[in-house]
C-alpha cells in the first residue's frame, strides 16, 4: 500500500484547517485557484512517480547489489538514524543543484511558482525531477543503506517538509538553528534579494550553516513568494514545462555551442553573466485573475470529487498494464487541464468541462469495471447523476454575465 494514500486525507484536512484558521486571523494566506493549481501539481508529481519511481528504485537496488561497500542491517536503529542524516545531506546537495543549474531548475521551479505560502504549496511538487536528481542519492547505496531503509527515510524526509510550508507558525528559537522550520523555509521560498538560493535543508538546516547558504528570516522585510518571472497561469502542464521552453528559446538564440550548452547548465537566468537584478518588493501585488467566484468554487468541488479517482489510480497503478495506466493518467491529466482552463477563463473552457463531465459519468456508468474496480450499480448511478449534475451546474455558470459571482 502506497503510504501517500494515507497522507492524502491528512493533507486535505490540514489544508482546510489552516485556511479556516487564517481566515479567523484575517490573514490572506489562501487563494482557491492557486491552491487548486498546487494540488494539481501534487497529482502530476504522483502520476509521474508511477512511471519513474520503479526505474529510480531499480537503479538504486542495482547500485546497492553491485557496488555497496558493506551490508548494513535494516533492523538497526543506528542504521536508520545514519541513513536519515545521510539522506538529508544528499537531499541538500540535490536541492542546491536544482537551484544552481538551469535544466535542474526547470524541473524544480514548479515548487516555487506559487505566490502564496501555505500547506497546499508544499504539495506543488515537480514532475520531472525523477529524470535528474536520482544520481545524488546513489552514495547511500554505495555505503550500504538497504533499499527498504532508503525508501523509508526518503518518505520521512518528504513528509517532514510538509508542515514547514506555513505562515501561521512563527520563529521557534533553538529549533530554527538545527532543523528546517517554517521561518527558515519561508526564506527559501522568497524572491527577495536576500532570499535567493538560501536554506536548502530538508529536515536539518545545519547543512546550510556548514556550507554558507543559511539566511535568517528578517523582521524588517516581508517575504514575497514566487519566482522572479511570474507564471501567471493555472495551466498545470504549462507550469511543468514553461521554463524548459524558456531555456530552449534562449539556447536557440545563443551563438556557438558553448553558449547554447551554457544556457542549460549555468545558474538560472545568468547564462549571459548579467547578474541577479535587484527586486523592489515594496508595493508588489500577487497575481489575481478575473475568475468568477462561482467558477472558483465549482473547480474546488470538482477537484474534491476527483480525489477518489486520484487515490484509486495511485493505489493500483503498479498493477495496471502500460495501456491501462496511460489511459488512466490521460483521464486525470485531462481533468486537471480542463479545470485549469476554467480558472484561466479560456475560450471553450465551459464546453470542454461539459464534455468532460458527461463523458466521465457515462464512461464510469457503462464500463463493466473501472480500471479493475467493479462498482455496484448504486455507485455507478450516483457517479452518473453527479457528473450530469455538474454538467448542468457549469452550464448555468456559463450563462451568467461576465464578472458575476
> Distance from CA of residue 51 to its chain's centroid?
16
Q: Range with the lowest mean pLDDT among 17-21, 37-41, 52-56, 89-93? A: 52-56
Q: What is the crossing angle of helices 349-366 and 377-398, to 10°?
A: 170
- Is residue 37 pLDDT above 80, yes or no? yes
Rounded to the nearest integer, the mean pLDDT of the chain is 93
- Is residue 405 pLDDT above 60, yes or no? no
- Is residue 404 pLDDT above 50, yes or no? no
- Spatial separation of the C-alpha atoms in residues 152 and 29, rounded to whole Å: 32
| pLDDT at residue 403 in the model | 47
Pick the more confident residue, 208 or 291: 208
Burial level of 123, CB count in 10 A (0-12/13-18/19+)?
A: buried
| pLDDT at residue 279 in the model | 86
Query: For residue range 78-103, what is the model confidence (pLDDT) as tens digits?
Result: 999 999 999 999 999 999 999 999 99
**Over residues 28-47, mean pLDDT:** 96
| pLDDT at residue 273 in the model | 62
| pLDDT at residue 67 in the model | 95
Query: For residue range 130-173, what is the model confidence (pLDDT) as tens digits?
Result: 888 899 999 999 999 999 999 999 999 999 999 999 999 999 99
> Distance from CA of residue 205 to its chain's centroid?
21
Residue 267 CA: distances (Å) to CA of 78, 197, 221, 261: 38, 10, 25, 12
Q: What is the DSSP string of 198-226?
A: ----SSBSHHHHHHT---PPPTTS---BS
| pLDDT at residue 401 in the model | 58
| pLDDT at residue 52 in the model | 86
- Is residue 274 pLDDT above 70, yes or no? no
| pLDDT at residue 399 in the model | 84
**Over residues 317-344, mean pLDDT:** 95
**Over residues 267-272, mean pLDDT:** 73
**Over residues 35-45, mean pLDDT:** 97
Contacts of residue 350, Cβ cutoff 8 Å, sequence gap at least 6: 342, 394, 395, 397, 398
The dihedrals phi and psi of 172, each to the nearest 5 degrees, come to: -125, 25
- Domain ranges, ordered by start, for the chain: 3-211, 293-398
| pLDDT at residue 1 in the model | 67
The dihedrals phi and psi of 204, each to the nearest 5 degrees, come to: -105, 140
151: its cell numbers: 525508501
SS3 373: strand
- Is residue 354 pLDDT above 80, yes or no? yes
- Is residue 109 pLDDT above 70, yes or no? yes
**Over residues 13-30, mean pLDDT:** 96
In DSSP terms, 204 is beta-bridged to 179
Residue in 19, 8, 38, 36 with CA at minimum distance from that of residue 225: 38
> Distance from CA of residue 363 to its chain's centroid?
29
Confidence of residue 361 (pLDDT cuts 50, 70, 90): very high
> Distance from CA of residue 398 to its chain's centroid?
30
| pLDDT at residue 252 in the model | 92
**Over residues 259-270, mean pLDDT:** 86
Residue 181 CA: distances (Å) to CA of 84, 128, 211, 313, 402: 17, 26, 18, 32, 43
The dihedrals phi and psi of 370, each to the nearest 5 degrees, come to: -100, 95
SS3 311: helix
Amino acid at each position: 500500500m502506497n503510504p501517500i494514500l494515507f497522507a492524502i486525507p491528512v493533507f486535505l484536512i490540514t489544508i482546510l484547517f489552516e485556511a479556516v484558521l487564517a481566515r479567523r486571523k484575517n490573514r490572506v494566506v489562501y487563494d482557491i485557484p492557486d491552491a487548486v493549481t498546487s494540488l494539481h501539481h501534487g497529482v502530476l508529481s504522483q502520476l509521474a512517480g508511477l512511471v519513474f519511481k520503479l526505474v529510480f528504485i531499480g537503479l538504486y537496488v542495482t547500485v546497492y547489489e553491485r557496488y555497496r561497500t558493506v551490508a548494513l542491517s535494516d533492523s538497526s536503529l543506528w542504521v536508520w538514524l545514519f541513513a536519515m542524516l545521510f539522506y538529508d545531506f544528499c537531499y541538500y546537495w540535490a536541492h542546491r543543484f536544482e537551484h544552481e543549474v538551469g535544466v535542474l531548475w526547470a524541473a524544480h521551479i514548479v515548487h516555487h511558482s506559487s505566490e502564496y505560502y501555505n500547506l497546499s504549496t508544499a504539495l506543488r511538487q515537480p514532475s520531472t525531477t525523477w529524470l535528474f536528481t536520482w544520481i545524488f542519492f546513489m552514495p547511500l547505496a554505495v555505503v550500504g543503506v538497504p533499499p527498504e531503509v532508503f525508501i523509508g527515510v526518503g518518505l520521512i524526509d518528504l513528509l517532514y517538509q510538509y508542515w514547514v510550508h506555513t505562515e501561521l507558525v512563527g520563529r521557534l528559537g533553538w529549533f530554527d538553528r538545527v532543523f528546517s522550520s517554517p521561518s527558515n523555509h519561508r526564506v527559501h521560498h522568497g524572491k527577495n534579494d536576500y532570499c535567493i538560493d538560501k536554506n536548502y535543508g530538508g529536515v536539518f538546516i545545519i547543512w546550510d550553516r556548514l556550507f554558507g547558504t543559511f539566511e535568517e528570516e528578517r523582521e524588517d522585510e516581508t517575504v514575497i513568494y514566487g519566482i522572479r518571472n511570474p507564471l501567471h497561469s493555472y495551466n498545470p502542464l504549462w507550469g511543468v514545462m514553461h521554463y524548459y521552453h524558456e531555456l530552449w528559446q534562449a539556447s536557440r538564440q545563443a551563438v556557438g555551442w558553448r553558449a547554447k550548452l551554457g544556457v542549460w547548465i549555468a545558474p538560472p537566468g545568468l547564462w549571459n553573466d548579467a547578474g541577479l537584478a535587484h527586486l523592489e518588493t515594496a508595493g508588489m501585488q500577487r497575481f489575481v485573475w478575473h475568475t468568477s467566484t462561482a467558477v472558483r468554487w465549482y473547480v474546488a468541488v470538482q477537484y474534491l470529487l476527483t480525489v477518489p479517482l486520484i487515490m484509486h489510480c495511485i493505489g493500483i497503478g503498479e498493477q495496471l498494464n502500460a495501456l491501462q495506466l496511460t489511459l488512466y493518467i490521460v483521464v486525470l491529466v485531462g481533468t486537471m487541464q480542463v479545470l485549469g482552463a476554467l480558472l484561466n477563463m479560456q475560450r471553450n473552457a465551459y464546453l470542454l468541462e461539459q464534455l468532460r463531465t458527461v463523458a466521465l459519468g457515462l464512461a464510469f456508468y457503462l464500463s463493466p469495471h473501472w480500471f479493475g474496480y467493479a462498482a455496484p450499480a448504486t455507485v455507478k448511478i450516483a457517479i452518473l447523476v453527479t457528473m450530469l449534475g455538474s454538467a448542468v451546474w457549469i452550464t448555468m455558470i456559463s450563462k451568467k454575465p461576465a464578472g458575476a459571482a
